[in-house]
Amino acid sequence: MKVSSISLFASTKFSSKIQNWAAKVAGEVHLISDKTDDFFDHTDSLLIFNQNQDLNQDILEIKARCDKQQKPVHKIDINGTLQVGITNFDLWLDSTKAKNLLVIAAEELADNPNLERYLDAL
């Protein structure tokens, strides 16, 4: 297991959709109720699932905060080539030694059938 913990925002459609996957790939899953000042203390990296490289304002704000704290950020476009996305994610995990991921996405991503395809392959 490469990942020690995954943090998800509680009560979101996306988080509900990937909670089982998160429990399979990480030792612990943390549900975060809101963006308090200390919620970044529990993560060392950010994983953004997106479609067609679209990022909404909330995601851009979280990404900017991670960039400011020099935490590694990786984006997976679930409408892109599956094998390329999987390989790039594995290489990113190996090179950054990321262990405590914050995983986010726009809510509408939960309805994209490609999300299941990626989760099954990761």
**54 pLDDT higher than 90:** no
Percent of the chain surpassing pLDDT 90: 76
**5 pLDDT higher than 80:** yes
| Domain 3-121: top CATH class | alpha beta
Average pLDDT on 82-101 reads 94
- At residue 75 the predicted structure's pLDDT band, cuts being 50, 70 and 90, is very high
Domain ranges of the chain: 3-121
**39 pLDDT higher than 70:** no
The C-alpha atoms of residue 42 and residue 38 are separated, in whole angstroms, by: 8
pLDDT at 1: 55
pLDDT at 36: 63
**3 pLDDT higher than 60:** yes
pLDDT at 52: 87
